[in-house]
A and B are shown apart, each in its own frame.
Chain A
Amino acid sequence: MSDILCPGAPAALQKALDIAAYREQVIASNVANIDTPGYRAKEIDFKGELRRAAAGATDESIEPSRPGATLREAETGRLRGDGNTVDIDREMLNLGVTAGFYTASVEMIKKYVAMMRAAITDGRS
């Protein structure tokens, strides 16, 4: 495979989809528990995870992290009387951003597949 098609790209994009999907689960969990007393909002280091995934795709020495390995308590700066720390606005914002990122990654995978197809069919497809 030539370097023009950058062999690391699909792996990195796939990992990006996994990370976005995992983040969406964390957001779903936070929104679901908005009325659960004592629930602490959780988050992942989205940018850090993506950076690591992108680096790991080209450099085999970097170990990709498992989803869930970096789940941490979110510092939302909110604490209700019942001990719940979920900030709904923040969750809704992240929900939209993550969904948009996911769709963008899907589009890039589609472009990559189209490029491969063009290469296979000698550009005549």
Chain B
Amino acid sequence: MGLMRAMDVSASALTAERTRLEVVSANLANSETTRTAEGGPYRPREVFFVAGPVGEAKAGSDPDRAIEGVREVRVEIPDRPPLLRYQPGHPDADARGYVSYPDINKVAETVNLMEASRSYEANVTVVRAVRAMLASALNILR
């Protein structure tokens, strides 16, 4: 049924926005992390959404596939050089006394965080509206 597909679409976006929130919080949490398992400072992640058919529509006909959700959430590690701070006493300081910190812009990450949470709310609003429509359709039989 059509309205169920709207739910699938919104659900895909909710998942995507939540992933984005998680990535942003990981970036903020690790903004001072100088040591990681793969060596070197933490490398900030970035999230990209890719539109496409989701749920049942994946195998559907063209009009179904035209209704796109967020098909894929890509988490990429952009190649950004670390920030160097002069801290000779630090255990992770290099030979010249510089420590590599991840290049994380806290303001940009915070804006990202707010954007993700607003978009999440917008999708919740859609889910509520669709749910109300489904409930009213069931009312026909009453």
- Whether the Cβ atoms of A110 and B126 lie closer than 8 Å is no
- Whether the Cβ atoms of B122 and A31 lie closer than 8 Å is yes
- Whether the Cβ atoms of A69 and B9 lie closer than 8 Å is no
| Stretch among B12-20, B29-37, B84-92, B99-107 lining the A interface | B12-20
- A20–B49 Cα distance when bound, in Å, is 27
Interface string of A39-77 (1 = CB under 8 A from B): 100100000000000000000000000111101000000
- Whether the Cβ atoms of B129 and A99 lie closer than 8 Å is yes
- A67–B67 Cα distance when bound, in Å, is 11
**B45 to nearest A CB, angstroms?**
15
Say which residue of B2, B69, B119 sits within 8 Å of A29 (CB atoms): B69
User: Mostly helix, strand, loop or mixed at chain B's interface?
Assistant: helix
Q: A24-B3, A29-B9 are in contact. Are A35 and B136 (CB under 8 A)?
A: no
CB within 8 Å of A: which of B37-60? Answer: 48-51
Assess whether B132 is interfacial by the CB under 8 Å rule. Answer: yes
Q: A25-B2, A68-B66 are in contact. Are A35 and B132 (CB under 8 A)?
A: no
- Whether the Cβ atoms of A66 and B63 lie closer than 8 Å is yes
Which residue of B has the minimal Cβ distance to A110? Answer: B140
Say which residue of A18, A28, A36, A103 sits within 8 Å of B6 (CB atoms): A28
Q: What are the residues of chain A within 8 A of B119 when measuring CB–CB?
A: 31, 34-35
- A21–B63 Cα distance when bound, in Å, is 13
Q: On chain A, which size bracket covers the interface?
A: 35 or more
Residues of B near any A CB (own CB < 8 A): 1-3, 5-7, 9-10, 12-13, 16-17, 20, 48-51, 62-64, 66-70, 115-116, 119, 122-123, 125-126, 129-130, 132-133, 136-137, 139-140, 142
Identify the interface centre among A32, A69, A106: most chain B CB within 10 Å of its CB. A32
Say which residue of A68, A88, A98, A103 sits within 8 Å of B63 (CB atoms): A68
- A40–B119 Cα distance when bound, in Å, is 17
**A46 to nearest B CB, angstroms?**
15
Which residue of B has the minimal Cβ distance to A33? Answer: B51
Which residue of B has the minimal Cβ distance to A24? Answer: B6
- Whether the Cβ atoms of A22 and B2 lie closer than 8 Å is yes
- A6–B73 Cα distance when bound, in Å, is 51
- Whether the Cβ atoms of A37 and B49 lie closer than 8 Å is yes
Which residue of B has the minimal Cβ distance to A112? Answer: B140
- Whether the Cβ atoms of A29 and B68 lie closer than 8 Å is yes
Identify the interface centre among B5, B10, B126: most chain A CB within 10 Å of its CB. B126
Assess whether A5 is interfacial by the CB under 8 Å rule. Answer: no
Q: What are the residues of chain B within 8 A of A102 when measuring CB–CB?
A: 133, 136-137
Assess whether A16 is interfacial by the CB under 8 Å rule. Answer: no
